[in-house]
Amino acid sequence: MLSRLILLLLAMLGGVFAAYYLVSSLAAIPKIGVASVFSLTVAGQVIMSLILDTTGTFGAAQISLSTFRILGTLLLLAGTILIQR
């Protein structure tokens, strides 16, 4: 019973985070542009996925950082900076 309650609370928390993302994206688009908002979103997701891969979170296979993965992330961040200019 407790695990069902925890799952329900996590699902609700996911809904709250999704609503926050939607509202903050809609507020940011007029100020920094659509391309900047979505490039920052993708960059954040890639960085978080690297962290989750490196730590093996959620029972996923642990994948160590390589030079190419770090270089790819840095290029993505450079692209995000270039889009904002």
Residues of the chain above pLDDT 90, percent: 73
**Are 32 and 84 spatial neighbours (Cβ–Cβ below 8 Å)?**
yes
Question: What's the pLDDT at 40?
Answer: 93
**Are 62 and 53 spatial neighbours (Cβ–Cβ below 8 Å)?**
yes
Alpha-carbon 37 to chain mean position: 12
**pTM for the whole thing?**
0.77
Count CB-CB contacts under 10 A for residue 23: 10
